[in-house]
Structure 1
Amino acid sequence: MCGRFIDPNLRGTEVEYSELKIDPIPRRFNVKPTQEVLIFSAGADPRYARWWFVPSWFKGTEAKEWKATTFNARIEEAAAKPTFRTAWKHGRCLIPAGGYYEWTGDKAPKQPHFIRSAGNEATLWFAGLASPWRDLMTCTIVTRAANPSAAAVHHRMPVILDTDEREAWLGGSNDVEIGAGAQLRHYPIARFGAADDGEELIEPLS
């Protein structure tokens, strides 16, 4: 799964904020479900979306009335699941991140770990699904079974795409093994609270 991540540092990259038609959010190191995150979709300008998917057919009056836990979607199930199947066909997106967190341990307090690219890439590109609900764009991060580079910290991981896979995903690929080759590294970090933020959160535990 993926329940917390950090914003990417897009300054000085091919998607530098100055080239985007949006105002940058100050970089966050503890992005939580229901907060706004940056998404990229084929044929559309980058935009912000609420990270907690709400299907377009939901009849509630407020997004928070949608009670299902849909900040993640399992790639093995999303195409057939009523909540996600329309977005699987028409709502593909990419969600950039600088890394994400997982926790290990059977009892609280659990040990947090920071997970980032094992290579020189500063940005991880998560496969996502987006859905407009009323006047609100919402999204979910697609997950898969963890590969060997991430399995030590959790049995699931985000679907993380390389350049060719990003194009394929946005083009509608149905390959549930997409992203299997992502290479990650992880290390333990100090415990932090829900309200904590700042670059110090991702410092290795001494």
Structure 2
Amino acid sequence: MCGRFIDPNLRGTEIEHSEIGIDPFARRFNIKPTQDVLIRPAEEGQFAWARWWFIPVWHKGEMQEWKATTFNARIEEADAKPTFRAAWKYGRCLIPAGGYYEWTGTKGQKTPHFIQSAANEETLWFAGLLSIWNDMRTCTILTRAANSDVEDVHHRMPVILNADERDAWLAGKQDKDLGAGASLRHHIVKSFGIQDDSPELIEEV
């Protein structure tokens, strides 16, 4: 799964703020579900903001009445799930990140790990699904079985796409093995609270 991640470092990259049409924003190091996250929708081609907690277009109630936990979706079954299958066809997106967190250990004694790229490209590109509900963009991060780089931390991982896979995903490719070859590394970080947010959160201990 992926329940916390950090903003990508946009400075000096091909997705500098001025290039993506997004006002400059302070980089966040503890992004939580229901917060707005940066996405690149397939249809629009331009970067945008979306609420990280997917609500399908057919939901008729209020936002708080959507009770399902939909900040993640399993790539193995998203195409068949009523909640996600329309977005699988028509709402694909990319969600850039500088890394994400997972925890090991038992409840009350969990150890956080920061997971980041071990390849030349610093930014991780998560495969996502986008739903525009009541004129609000909402999204989810797709997950898959963990590869050997991170399986010692958690049995699931985000679907992290290389350059070729990003194009294929946005074009509608049905391959559910996407992201298997992501090159990642991780280290232990200090425990932190829900409201903590600073670069120190990702420092190795």
Match runs of 1:118-157 below 5 Å = 118-157=118-157
Whole-angstrom distance in 1 between the partners of 2:102 and 2:58: 32
> Deviation per CA, 1:9-53, whole angstroms, max 9, x where unpaired?
112111110112221331000000000000002241210000000
Q: Does 1:56 align with 2:50?
A: no
Normalising by structure 2, we get a TM-score of: 0.97
Whole-angstrom distance in 2 between the partners of 1:94 and 1:7: 13
Q: 1:89 to 1:43 in 2, by over 3 A?
A: closer
Whole-angstrom distance in 2 between the partners of 1:97 and 1:64: 27
Instruction: Tell whether the 8 Å contact from 2:42 to 2:91 is kept in structure 1 after alignment.
Output: no
Match runs of 1:76-115 below 5 Å = 76-115=76-115
Gaps of 5+ in 2: none
The alpha carbon displacement at 1:152 in A equals 0.6
The alpha carbon displacement at 1:135 in A equals 1.6
Task: Look up the equivalent residue of 1:186 and give its one-letter code.
Answer: H
Task: Look up the equivalent residue of 2:65 and give its one-letter code.
Answer: E
Task: Look up the equivalent residue of 2:192 and give its one-letter code.
Answer: F
Gaps of 5+ in 1: none
Normalising by structure 1, we get a TM-score of: 0.97
Task: Look up the equivalent residue of 2:50 and give its one-letter code.
Answer: A
What is the percentage of aligned positions where both structures have the same residue? 69
**Alignment size in residue pairs:** 204
Whole-angstrom distance in 2 between the partners of 1:23 and 1:84: 30
Instruction: Tell whether the 8 Å contact from 2:43 to 2:91 is kept in structure 1 after alignment.
Output: no
Whole-angstrom distance in 1 between the partners of 2:179 and 2:143: 10
Secondary structure, counterpart of 1:55 in structure 2: coil
> Deviation per CA, 1:105-127, whole angstroms, max 9, x where unpaired?
02313000000011222100000
